[in-house]
Structure 1
């Protein structure tokens, strides 16, 4: 179970500072200026931030985080829900249900357990 996210500005800053100084004890007061060019260091600092603060870092944000300051800004910004709700094709079929012919419908794919890939195409065919 993920930890309860920290929301207060000062708590987030203090928690993230402890994560950074744990990995880089020599930075001192210039901890916000540290560049995250080393992928291992970036991973360790962001992983520590996620575990302490409780806010996940989406893959789309990873390239935007180049310094510790960028990471702190990310953790300080409020989370916004992902606008992508479900399957876009299923949503389109639902929105245009009245304009489509009766024989046209969306059937979601369900992966069957224990069925090999080469047999799946044979099983998907329906006899009419």
Structure 2
């Protein structure tokens, strides 16, 4: 079984990279939890609007700009993931420091590229 990934900033819109990431994660048999603004479903994964009850997360992959990330700082830190992936457009030095201080790996990369090149 693959380790669980939280897609934060999940979108129902097929042209959004978070949507494509969910589809590709499922294709590569990763367990996925998706959090977004609107409830719905992508590739059989239900998008939730709250992080309540989420646990056992290995990777958080971000699709929120730095300002929209702030309300999630503590929730992500409390999940104690192995790593947080900052996809293009989500770069956030302030959050990098908080994660590193909590011994959480920071990866500035593209989830879609990591999956496509077998580096996920």
The answer to whether TM tops 0.5 is no
Q: Hey, which of these two has a bigger chunk of strand by percent? A: 2
What's the TM-score bracket when you normalise by the shorter of the two chains? under 0.3
- TM-score, normalised with respect to structure 2: 0.23
- TM-score, normalised with respect to structure 1: 0.22
